[in-house]
Chains A and B, each alone.
Chain A
Amino acid sequence: MKSGRFWAWFVFLLGAAYFFIPLIATIEFSLRMRRGVYSFDAYKVVLGDSQFQATFMFSVIVAVFTILLGVLIVVPTAYWIRLRLPQLRPIVEFITLLPLVIPAIVIVFGYIRMYGSNSPLPFLGSNLGANALLVIGYAALALPYMYRAVDTGLRTIDVRTLTEAAQILGAGWGTIIARVILPNVLIAVLSGAFLTFAIVIGEFTMASLLNRPAFGPYLQNLVANRAYEPAALSIIAFVITWGCMSLIQILSRFAPKSASRPN
């Protein structure tokens, strides 16, 4: 047992070294912009760059719309599958897993060929259309995570009783979903939302191939042309991802336990 614990510590510390050294190296590098002393110059330059602000804001807005679209598609579907069409569950689950099988670059390649400016549905013919297509593509990428999060949330509440109670009180389907089901799975939806945010904010492939002025392509461009700023941005990106994951962790503590389910 004693040697077992030694090996456990050994493995853990080795892993910790592998994961922390690149972070430390990046932080160290990001502080070296001013010759001879450590300073936050790189961060100041980056945060003050108008292009950074513009691309970052663009990606944040895209992320928000992606989350909205994802919720609009996933919540009613997952709810309806649980309530009325359980026989469709395997098909829907299979579809939600497709984005894990089909690489993002292939999906966006398909979009470019199908929704080009000469096609019947010319998404790529206008800026607004291309932005919409980007949001749609991200919603597709986030589908596996969003669906799983919402479905787990629905499992912990008694969908049928809640629906019947609402119906008895005279609620329509819109009201039931928006004011009964959604608040009950809000925490699950939020954790799916933060994961979506983490995926979307630095995404490169789709944004780049659809020629959108997003944060990912900006980062890529910066790596090719600058030395210290990308290090600062990498740290910022890591902190954002960390923030999203911590929020999911914190939220999951508030999530209702499955004990509230009667059967």
Chain B
Amino acid sequence: MTDLSLSNKAIAGNTAPPAEARSLRLPTQWLGVTPFFVFAVMFLILPTLYLMLGAFQNEAGEFTFANIVALFSANIVAAYWISIKVSLASSLIGAFAGLAIAIAIVRGGLPNWIRSATLTFSGVASNFAGVPLAFAFIATLGRLGLVTVLLNTLVGLNLYAHGFNLLSFWGLTITYVYFQIPLMVVIIVPAIDGLKREWGEAAATLGATQAQYWRMVVIPVLWPSFLGTVILLFANAFGAIATAYALTGSSLNIVPILLYAQIRGDVLHNAHLGYAIAFGMIFITGLANIFYIWFRTRSERWLK
């Protein structure tokens, strides 16, 4: 349909015969998207490929798996492991909490303004990362933070005496959750909106209880987009560096901080090992995103 009207117009606009019009049109067709592709290749694809190829080369430029093997040294594995743990924990907590909040504001019978206020706030908070976020949590749960001090003076509960530390796995997770929950809310609310009222009515007509409606209709429909969003949150946390760096300096050894230190000062004393770390990061977020796209296409069938 589109092509037809296009060629018709081209023929009508040009007195030249169709064949000539076609040969004239072809280069200009592609000219329109050239800046985009040049930009993408030069500043997105080539730099990434450069690192990925570098991960499989030694200093002399020969092909090798040595860098990938070196990734499995204790220090680097530990960094990947804590990164994966923090990303997984923060994405799961963020996803469930975000889902609960989304269901509460969409289906919970709360006043309408709460819904729009929550959505606006979520837009803000999902972009509130980095140094300001880290500092907000230092002011809240740091050694002299408001909540730490209040709990100590009011209830007599000394968080830090009980082994809590903001500069740790849980500290980082609880901070990351601050931008994970809102991201979940922003993405999942449209999916919950997509649950058609008719489905609930149909289920009720067929004699389903509320629990059955949830178990057999809502959860199967929401499941793919929920799982997809969990993966997106995972990738989101995995690549984040500014928050962790501001919070812990270099005391918590997560992958982005390790890579940062490597770029800054070659702390691993092997440039190509740095490439391999970058390759590992892309590998993990890439894998996560392949799953995301897969779940996304499955969920879109229902939410049209």
Contact = CB atoms under 8 A, between A and B. Distances in A.
Interface in A197-230: 198-199, 202-205, 209, 216, 219-220, 223-224, 230
B282 to A, nearest CB: 6
Contacts of B133: 234
Interface stretch (A51-59, A73-81, A179-187): A73-81
Q: Name B's interface SS.
A: helix
B6 interface: yes
The 6 closest A-B pairs by CB, nearest first: A8-B108, A110-B47, A103-B239, A80-B32, A25-B146, A234-B132
A164 B107 CA distance: 46
Interface string B264-280: 10000000001000100
A4 interface: yes
Q: How large is the interface on B (under 10, 10 to 19, 20 to 34, 35 or more residues)?
A: 35 or more
A101 B260 contact: no
Contact of B29 (A22, A84, A106, A242): A84
Interface of A: 1, 4-5, 7-9, 11-12, 15, 18-19, 21-26, 28-29, 72-74, 76-77, 79-81, 84-86, 88, 92, 95, 97-114, 136-137, 139-140, 143, 160, 164, 167, 173, 195, 198-199, 202-205, 209, 216, 219-220, 223-224, 230-231, 233-235, 237-238, 241-242, 244-246, 248-249
Contacts of B108: 4-5, 7-9, 11-12
Given A100-B289, A101-B285, A105-B256, A19 B178 contact: yes
Nearest to A205: B241
A95 B40 contact: yes
A76 B135 contact: no
B194 interface: no
A172 to B, nearest CB: 12
Interface stretch (B65-73, B117-125, B156-164, B195-203): B117-125
Contacts of B107: 8
A199 B255 CA distance: 22
A25 B147 contact: yes
6 contacts: A4-B109, A9-B104, A73-B35, A203-B242, A209-B264, A238-B128
B136 interface: yes
Given A26-B135, A245-B123, A11 B242 contact: no
B208 interface: no
B39 to A, nearest CB: 5
B120 A15 contact: no
Interface string B124-150: 110110111111111110000111000
A220 B146 contact: no
A238 B132 CA distance: 8
A85 B29 contact: yes
Contacts of A107: 43-44, 47-48
Given A29-B146, A113-B50, A220-B246, A249 B120 contact: yes
B127 A198 contact: yes
A64 B103 CA distance: 38
B47 A114 contact: yes
B80 interface: no
Contact of A105 (B138, B236, B241): B241
Interface of B: 2, 5-6, 9, 13, 29-30, 32-33, 35-36, 39-40, 43-48, 50-51, 54, 97, 100-101, 103-105, 107-110, 114, 118, 120-121, 123-125, 127-128, 130-140, 145-147, 177-178, 181, 232, 235-236, 238-239, 241-242, 245-246, 249, 256, 259-260, 263-264, 274, 278, 281-282, 285-286, 289
A216 B131 contact: yes
Given A109-B51, A109-B274, A238-B128, A22 B178 contact: yes
A241 B125 CA distance: 8
Contacts of B6: 84
Contacts of A29: 139, 146
Nearest to A111: B47
Contacts of B114: 12
Given A22-B140, A77-B35, A209 B48 contact: no
Nearest to B131: A219
B173 to A, nearest CB: 13
B36 A92 contact: yes
Contacts of B238: 103
Contact of A204 (B9, B137, B242, B259): B242
A111 B127 CA distance: 25
Contact of B249 (A202, A224, A230): A224
